[in-house]
Amino acid sequence: MSNDNRGNDNRGSDNTNDPTIDFGDEFGVVRFGSDDDSGPALSFGSNETEQLPHWTEPATGEIPRFMKQDTESARRPEQDDDETDVWSAYNDPSAPARKPPIDLTGDGPRRFETTTPPPVERPRREGRIVIGTDPTGETRRQAPLRDASGAQTRPTQVTRAGRTSPASRPGQPRVAGRAGATGSMSRPPVSGARDLPTATAVGALLLAVFIGALIVGPAAVMVIVLAVIGLAAFEFFTQITQAGYKPISVIGIVGCIAAPAVAYWKGDSAIPLVLLFAFVGISLVFVASDGVDSGPVPNSAATMIAIIWIGLMGSYAGLILRWSTLGEGFAQRGTDTLFIIVAGVVANDIAAYFVGTAVGRQPLREWISPKKSIEGLIGGTIGTFVVVVLVGLQSTTWPSFGSWIMLSLVISVMAPLGDLTESMFKRNLDIKDFGTVLSGHGGALDRFDSILFVLPAVYYLGMVTTPWA
């Protein structure tokens, strides 16, 4: 109680000269400094520094004392003990290397790296990546799916905007040469050596049947023409259907047979009507289909290709044979012309084969048929001319030397073109032959593909030059 009173008395006193205040037992007496305190100043060692200059004056460049001491101590080795060998650390290879002191002043010796730094490995930059491709080069493979009936189906591929990829739609076949096919053009089908004895025997049999029909008359020859064209059309539609297309095969086969039939019966004015009816029928079928998944464009095109290639071009055989039905003096015109065409095409094929096999070096169109050569083309032209001259000597329809030259040139150009066209289609479909009905020759389309291109060319050549006049 007395302490509290004493503290209250001290706080309440008005003695301003005493710089002490007693807060009681807890804190004791606290002394405050006064302005006129003349006692000695605190000192932390010898003071050798001068008064700092005013901040507005220029810099003196002097270094603080503690930095000088650190620099000097860093420059001289420390000697802790007389018995300690301070240089032993530099001679002992097992001793850890001492790090040099840090130079804060910049007065120490500068050291430069003399060793070449290791090369920096930069990540390999990939080539340009195009959206929609596989930058790794690996083709994504999916196992075939099967529906409830057990048939294999392709997985549906969805592209941007929710559209189905054309290669996965029904009626959109996935064959070599189409967009979306991986890689370049597919490898050509492996074919074995040509069976010459069988091919020769079958060819001789066909020639005998053809000559027999010529003797009977143009109508008999026309029956053979319709049979060959119908069989060729059937082979074509069978192969493209197996490739994934969905053509209208019935309309296509009927159109191919109808074109040469009406040409022989009514002439060239009836051929456009066949093409018109065929296209209208194809359009009606796809219009009545369930939707665009039926593939109207590719399947209509596949059907019309057959009608034009086999039907329209084959119809010129009917037009040529029609020459023999025009009356007296025309009986041999059509049959003679057709016989010269067949003989010239066969000679071209045989001569090109043997010459190309013997001396062929320069490929004609390697990506279509590597075995066809320019040397074979020249040999085929020579063989065609020889045979056309031999047959023309017995003909009254093409009796002049000039007509033989023109016939030989037309056959030598159009026959290889027809053969290359058929080989191109087979390469695209990745097949060896369109059929196997003719041993050693393949199918009917494989045997008569060259004649299809020669028929219209020779027909118009005869109409323009009229060599029989």
CA pair distance 343, 407, nearest whole angstrom: 11
Residue 223, pLDDT score: 96
Extract the tokens encoding 88: 């032993």
Q: Which helix (H) or strand (E) holds 364?
A: strand 363-365
Extract the tokens encoding 13: 């006193």
Q: What is the pLDDT of residues 339-370, one digit of tens each?
A: 999 999 999 999 999 999 999 899 999 999 98
Q: What is the pLDDT of residues 186-207, one digit of tens each?
A: 444 444 456 778 888 888 888 8
Residues 6+ apart with CB under 8 A from 403: 392, 465, 467
CA pair distance 443, 376, nearest whole angstrom: 23
Residue 179, pLDDT score: 41
Radius of gyration of the chain (CA): 52
Residue 57, pLDDT score: 78
Please, how many CA atoms are within 13 Å of residue 259, restricted to the half-sphere of its CB? 27
Q: What is the pLDDT of residues 98-108, one digit of tens each?
A: 566 666 665 65
**Residue ranges of the domains in the chain?**
202-465
Residue 335, pLDDT score: 93
Which residues of the chain fall below pLDDT 50? 1-2, 5-13, 79-81, 138, 140-144, 147-149, 151, 153-170, 176-192
Q: What is the DSSP string of 307-356?
A: IIIIIIHHHHHHHHHHGGGSSTT-TTHHHHHHHHHHHHHHHHHHHHHHHH
Residues 6+ apart with CB under 8 A from 176: 185, 186, 427, 428, 429, 430
